[in-house]
Amino acid sequence: MTVVFTGEPEAAAPPVPRAGGEGGERPLAGIRVAMLNFREPRQSTAGGAEEYAWQVSRFLLAQGAVVTFVTGRQRGQRRAEVLEGIRLRRMGNPYLVYVLVPLWLLFHRRRVDAVIDTMNGIPFFSPLVVRRRTPVLCLVHHVHDRQFHAFLPRWLARIGCFVEGPVARLLYRRCLTITVSESSKHELAGKLRWLAPITVVPNGCAEPETVAPEPGRGEPAVAPTLVYAGRLVGHKRIERVVDLAAHLDASWPGLTVHVIGRGPEQGPLARRIADNGLHGRAVLHGYLPAARKNALLGAARLNVTASEFEGWGLTVIEAAALGVPTVAYDVAGLRDSVRHGVTGWLVGEDECLADVVERALKELSDPCRRAEVADACRAWAREFTWARTGASITGLILAKLQDRGGAYQ
């Protein structure tokens, strides 16, 4: 299976630039790009969307662009700093950010040549404040309607759905929209009746030299470990993963579940582990540096996620790069990043997570089958690199600038 990074459906795909520094090519030299994102990767609630925005920003910088990452501010963070050559501008809490970022863009619009506006449920309304000829690319990871109703009062959830739907649909109707999976593209078209052209540019993954070495194939038979890695938030349903330590104890004595990540569900999960007597069998690690996270993930028999929806599933590909398959529900995003029966297993509507995990563990207990799946996982992960993601978006920015007659010059 090959994932194609497509361009606008009604136009020829723009040329894809090479990574900055090859042959001295810097196709975005001097172009000033504003990356608007709800959070940035160093914040405690950051996830895959923030990693995507940051990695793309790094690539654009390598192409010669001047990148300003405009985002919210967490307590204790500086309002302005430069990290890895990217100018960070932080402002506002999770609510005020949607007021302050458009105001920042309004006051700096003559110093911005292109905008990537990440719509995390609520957009930044950038088409209203930038110059008429400044291209805006709208980046949407997934439709947020269920999240609004899960976390907000009903009246506020309805407002959120109205803004994400009819308001954003009209406001961004002339802006090329980028999303990360075919599932998200279908939901944009079906649920939101999106009017703008949509192109799919999936997440990348760490380069092979940056991930931990693969675990040895001939390791002695020991009790398997399961890992969940990601944000600890409600719609990820991590409690279902934690409960596997109890559900599978009889058939897999000594099985351990490792939970890596931080977020508001950490306290409730800790209480659940204590109440169910799962100490030692379900372990909350909190945030871990990449090397330690990869060591735990790479040694696991399975990566498990119980999320009810995703835009893509970045941790699925990170696990695959280490040769570790994933069990996930057959839902939007995860059905794109997991190749059922090849790089993992999908849990159907009429199936139980524990039953599918148990079947997967039995299948992987055969060393030959485990090696086959691990090879398929690594081959699948190699199709996704941040360089490829960044190059696709660079090409889209160049095409938009050229369409507008070099107005940035």
22-204+385-403 with 208-381: one CATH topology? yes
At 145 the pLDDT is 76
Q: What is d(CA 148, CA 393) in angstroms, rounded to the nearest whole number?
A: 29
Closest Cα to residue 367, out of 245, 224, 213, 208?
Answer: 224
DSSP states of 285-338 as a string? EES--HHHHHHHHHT-SEEEE--S--SS-HHHHHHHHTT--EEEES-TTHHHHS
Handedness of CA 232, 236, 239, 245 (dihedral sign): negative
Question: Domain 208-381 sits in which CATH superfamily?
Answer: Glycogen Phosphorylase B; (3.40.50.2000)
Instruction: Look up tokens 């997570």; give the residue.
Output: 353
Q: Which residue has tokens 């938030």? A: 233
**Distance in Å from the first CA to the final CA of the chain:** 41
Cβ neighbours, 10 Å, residue 264: 13
Domain ranges within the chain, ordered by starting residue = 22-204+385-403, 208-381
Alpha-carbon distance 194 to 140, whole Å?
11
Q: Residue 142: which region, alpha, beta or left (left: phi > 0; alpha: psi -120 to 50)?
A: beta
Helices 290-298 + 314-321 axis angle, to 10: 70
Tell which phi-psi region holds residue 5, choosing left (phi > 0), alpha (psi between -120 and 50) or beta: beta
Task: Please name the amino acid found at residue 84.
Answer: E
Rounded to whole angstroms, the Cα distance separating 331 from 346 reads 9
Residues in the chain: 409
Pairing type for strands 66-71 and 86-90 reads parallel
Summarize pLDDT for 6-53 with one digit per residue, the tens. Answer: 333 333 334 444 445 444 579 999 999 999 999 999 888 888 899 999
In degrees, rounded to 5, the angle at the alpha carbon of residue 17 between the alpha carbons of residues 16 and 20 is: 155
Structural fold of domain 22-204+385-403: Rossmann fold (3.40.50)
Burial 57-85 (b: 16+ CB within 10 A, else e): bbbbbbbbbbbbbbbbbbeeeeeeeeeee
Pick out the chain residues at pLDDT < 70: 1-24, 150, 207-222, 405-409
- The owner of tokens 């058939």 is 251
Asked whether the beta carbons of 318 and 297 are under 8 A apart, the reply is yes
Q: Checking phi first, is residue 286 left (phi over 0); if not, alpha (psi -120 to 50) or beta? A: left
pLDDT at 95: 86
Decide: 233 and 268 in contact? Cβ < 8 Å: no
**Distance separating alpha carbons of residues 31 and 134, to the nearest angstrom:** 11
Predicted pLDDT of residue 157: 83
User: Could you tell me if residue 211 is left (phi over 0), alpha (psi between -120 and 50 degrees) or otherwise beta?
Assistant: beta
DSSP string covering 139-207: EESS--HHHHHHHS-HHHHHHHHHIIIIIHHHHTTTS-EEESSHHHHHHHHHTS---S-EEE-------
CA distance 101 to 92: 8
The strand ranges marked E within 37-169 are 66-71, 80-83, 86-90, 114-118, 136-140
Token output for 7 = 């361009």
How far is the C-alpha of 94 from the C-alpha of 264, rounded, in Å? 14
Beta strands in 92-144 (DSSP E): 114-118, 136-140
Q: What is the pLDDT of residue 207?
A: 59
pTM of structure: 0.83
Name the amino acid, one letter, at 15.
P
| Tokens describing residue 279 | 């100490």
Q: For the segment 117-133, what is each residue's pLDDT rounded down to a tens digit?
A: 999 889 999 999 999 99
